[in-house]
Amino acid sequence: MNELAKLSLHEAARAIAAGTLSSEALVQACLARIAERDPAVGAWAYLDAEQALAEARLRDRQAPLGPLHGVPIGLKDIIDTADMPTEYGSPIYRGYRPAHAARCVELLRAAGAVILGKTVTAEFATYHPGRTANPHHPGHTPGGSSSGSAAAVADFQVPCALGTQTAGSIIRPASFCGTIGYKPSFDAFDYRGLHPLAPSLDTLGLFVRDLADLAPLRRVLAPRAVPQAPAARKPRIGFCRTAQWKRGDAAMHAALEASAQSLAKAGAEVVEISLPPSFSQLVSAQILVFAAEAVRGLATEWRDHRAALSAELQALIEEGRRYTAQDELVAQALAAKCRLELGTILGEVDVLLTPASIGEAPGGLGKTGDPLFNRIWTMLHVPCVSYPIGAGPAGLPLGAQVVGAHGADDALIGYAMWMQNHSPAVAGANA
């Protein structure tokens, strides 16, 4: 593999800014890696090599536009692009080109990024998977719905890709593929120009290979955020198994417990955290809100193209149609109560350490895995980071999920960097 393809986003941006690397050379390295690996991985829904190289050559002729100048980035294919098809993982929109690009695409290009292409998404970012396979083992799922973004980054096909999360669609595939996943605080990144699914949950986020990559990306995608200085002390960590702990497998239990022990030995204050009783109903509340809002988010497709929707998506919408407005109010009221209670907990510890997934990626490509350990944090609108902490019995990656207070994204990322540096050896990256 061309060593340039292994560069992290911040390493690539620094080299391009210093004049020791051209954007064209980096894009060529990514395209060569894609040509070698994508027949097996299947991460890309749309890729035009000449278009990407032309954009890279333009960046090489320009004065630096911003912190991402010349760096290639992939976009989950529910993000609108006017110069590339946007198909939302559905045959309904085959070849569709929106009139305008999403706001996040405008921000990335204004900062100098090169949009490499569109990555595979599950149908409308729900449950019916696309063709992407896990880059570590093609017989296992990469997770979903941001399957292509997670697999492309993990497989060194692009240093960064955007994804979305409505239940667990960033954190879970990051865990399954052995890369970094970041779901920001709700509404931290502008969601305009993405196909809505459940607007009170939909969150735009990132896949990278190095936690240090998140700072320049946040400067571009959350320009109104006030940067927070990293804490000068070791984190106070709440080890939070959650009420769903017994649903996790033995390998995940062992990896997370070993991680907690390593962090304590490194000097962090690690305490056991039990969530209040109200949290026991939060998974069910998230499932209800997801389905009920999907009825509205996909109303046009349901009305005009019902037969073209997958059986899984039709079942989701049928479920959502059974809920009443009162059901939604009760679920949202529970979420509001739990947000207040979580705020109290996160006043006593800096972050929570909790599972990123039930275990390693399951076999087969017909399902994307269970977002059980992600649902409540998405419902609570708090930022989450996943990083690799080991491997399961099939040798596939396992991830830890670190959860922070709403709006405290920079602090969360800083603590996660310290935690990753003091965790057990991570699963080896696919080469």
Cis-peptide, bond into residue 8, ω within 30° of zero: no
Element (H, E) at 182: strand 180-183
The domain of 74 spans 3-221
CA distance 239 to 274: 9
CA distance 255 to 392: 9
The distance of Cα 37 from the centroid of its chain, to the nearest Å, equals 21
**Would 356 be classed as within a structural domain?**
no
pLDDT value at position 430? 38
Check if 76 is active-site: yes
Query: How many domains are there within the chain?
Result: 1
CA distance 30 to 10: 16
**Would 363 be classed as within a structural domain?**
no
CA distance 244 to 229: 34
Check if 149 is active-site: no
**Would 89 be classed as within a structural domain?**
yes
Buried b (16+ CB within 10 A) or exposed e, 79-117: bbbeebbbbbbbebbeeeebeebbbbbebbbebbbbbbb
**Would 189 be classed as within a structural domain?**
yes
- The residue annotated as part of the active site, out of 8, 90, 147, 169, is 169
CA distance 34 to 55: 18
**Would 258 be classed as within a structural domain?**
no
Element (H, E) at 352: strand 351-355
**By C-alpha distance, which of 9, 22, 24 is closest to 156?**
9
- CA-based angle 303:308:309, to the nearest 5? 80
Instruction: Decide if 168 contacts 375 (C-beta within 8 A).
Output: yes
**Would 170 be classed as within a structural domain?**
yes
pLDDT value at position 425? 55
Is the pTM above the cut of 0.85? yes
Indicate if the alpha-carbon torsion angle 226, 232, 233, 234 is positive or negative.
positive
pLDDT value at position 317? 98
**By C-alpha distance, which of 365, 379, 389 is closest to 180?**
389
pLDDT value at position 331? 98
**Would 182 be classed as within a structural domain?**
yes
Check if 145 is active-site: yes
**By C-alpha distance, which of 182, 102, 178 is closest to 140?**
178
pLDDT value at position 224? 85
pLDDT per residue as tens, the chain (431 positions) = 799 999 999 999 999 999 999 999 999 999 999 999 999 999 999 999 999 999 999 999 999 999 999 999 999 999 999 999 999 999 999 999 999 999 999 999 999 999 999 999 999 999 999 999 999 999 999 999 999 999 999 999 999 999 999 999 999 999 999 999 999 999 999 999 999 999 999 999 999 999 999 999 999 999 988 777 777 789 999 999 999 999 999 999 999 999 999 999 999 999 999 999 999 999 999 999 999 999 999 999 999 999 999 999 999 999 999 999 999 999 999 999 999 999 999 999 999 999 999 999 999 999 999 999 999 999 999 999 999 999 999 999 999 999 999 999 999 999 999 999 998 754 333 33
Instruction: Please tell me the chain's helix, strand, coil percentages from 3-state DSSP, rounded to the nearest 5.
Output: 45, 15, 40
- The residue annotated as part of the active site, out of 76, 175, 183, 357, is 76
Indicate if the alpha-carbon torsion angle 248, 254, 257, 262 is positive or negative.
negative
- The residue annotated as part of the active site, out of 145, 146, 175, 386, is 145
CATH number of the domain encompassing residue 156: 3.90.1300.10
**Would 46 be classed as within a structural domain?**
yes
